[in-house]
Amino acid sequence: MKKAKVGIVGCGNISHIYFNNLSAYPEVELYACADLDVARAQARAEEFGLAKAYTVEELLNDPDIDIVVNLTIPQAHAAVCLQALAAGKHVYVEKPLAVTREEGQQILSLAKEKGLRVSGAPETFLGGGIQTCRKLIDDGAIGTPVSVAGFVIGGGHESWHPDPAFYYKLGGGPMFDMGPYYLTAFVTLLGPIRRVTGSAVISYPERTITSKPKYGEKIQVETPTLISGVMDFENGAVGTLIASFDAPGGSVLPNIEIHGSKGSLLVPDPNGFGGVVKLRRAGGDWEEIALTHDNIDNNRGIGVADMARAIAAGEPHRASGEMAYHVLEAMHGFHDASRDGKHYDMQSTCERPAPMPAVN
């Protein structure tokens, strides 16, 4: 199989694991990188032995590059995706797909017009933890799923992130930061969402940065920092998702539980690739289930490799742009429902991604 040449746009904090992992995948050749700070791109290129360190425009105009991996901040996701697609490149983008639904629709529309692929993070659902849970559900271990509950509750990023302000702008907040992991896992395990409702608030309109180097600076909060959402799935199941940056004391709630007609399933943190899976059949005790799929601690880049393989084989890729858009719409739907005081009916749907092959 011919390797797909990959160029990375955005060489910040999260990029290191992508550089490291994509250097090893047989489906791709990590070829070039770019950043608004060209010196940062040059440093990454030297570190990983890449052929090219570019400006963003130079990378997008290189005819040898097949796939652009977009690791910019959320507010730049749409612009870089659209530029890459216009230049004839397939795109993999960090979460969320875009800040607004309109931008997300533009990305999918241009990709369809150009005959190109869009893939979106998170790809953690391809890891052993979520895939083992998927297999248990598909094999009937909990019977018919009737409910799911997810909790991502903690304090804000101003206590540790070096530049946390964008987490409190449009496209930020706990829902847009962490919600994609949970909602993508929900869709993987249960299928698409039919409608949502919820309450969303800004608990603290101003935040003070206590991390370096911007210690003491103030952030004006522009997006909800506490969201309690409810989902009705197309398969009839009902879900709950609580996402908060307003609990500095933390939480002891589980990441995800799924309840069915014959048992319950404790799903590991969807922000990771592995984790502990526990099953409790009706009338029994909780038991830990051995993972049936690869258990790699941080496998970021697997979504890019899966898309490259799928392109070569003429098959659907798993972390599809349609699923990333469905998740984006649901996140906005929680905010809309809270503002309008009524359910939000989802306008999009998506295919439940194909399972990964089991190794056990």
Whether 53 contacts 290, CB under 8 Å: no
Q: Which residues, including other chains, have CB under 8 Å from residue 135's CB and lie 6 or more apart?
A: 292, 293, 355, 358
Find the mean pLDDT for residues 105-117. 98
Q: What share of the chain has pLDDT > 70, as a percent?
A: 99
Confidence category of residue 63, pLDDT binned at 50, 70, 90: very high
Residue 360: pLDDT over 70 = no
Residues 273-306: tens digit of each pLDDT: 999 999 999 999 999 999 999 877 789 999 999 9
Residue 112: pLDDT over 70 = yes
Confidence category of residue 113, pLDDT binned at 50, 70, 90: very high
Phi, psi for residue 353 in degrees, rounded to 5:
-65, 150
Residues 247-277: tens digit of each pLDDT: 999 999 999 999 999 999 999 999 999 999 9
Q: Cα dist. 193→31, 117, 144 in Å?
A: 38, 23, 17
Task: Decide: pTM greater than 0.75.
Answer: yes
First to last CA, the chain: 26
Residue 337: pLDDT over 90 = yes
Find the mean pLDDT for residues 223-233. 98
Residue 224: pLDDT over 70 = yes
Residue 169: pLDDT over 70 = yes
Residue 1: pLDDT over 80 = no
Which pLDDT score, from 0 to 100, does residue 298 have?
85
Whether 126 contacts 291, CB under 8 Å: no
Find the mean pLDDT for residues 151-174. 94
Which pLDDT score, from 0 to 100, does residue 87 have?
98
3-state SS, residue 22:
helix
Confidence category of residue 171, pLDDT binned at 50, 70, 90: confident
Phi, psi for residue 22 in degrees, rounded to 5:
-65, -20
Residue 236: pLDDT over 90 = yes
Taking all residues of the chain, what is their mean pLDDT, rounded to a whole number? 96
Residue with tokens 């490799």: 305
Q: What share of the chain has pLDDT > 90, as a percent?
A: 93
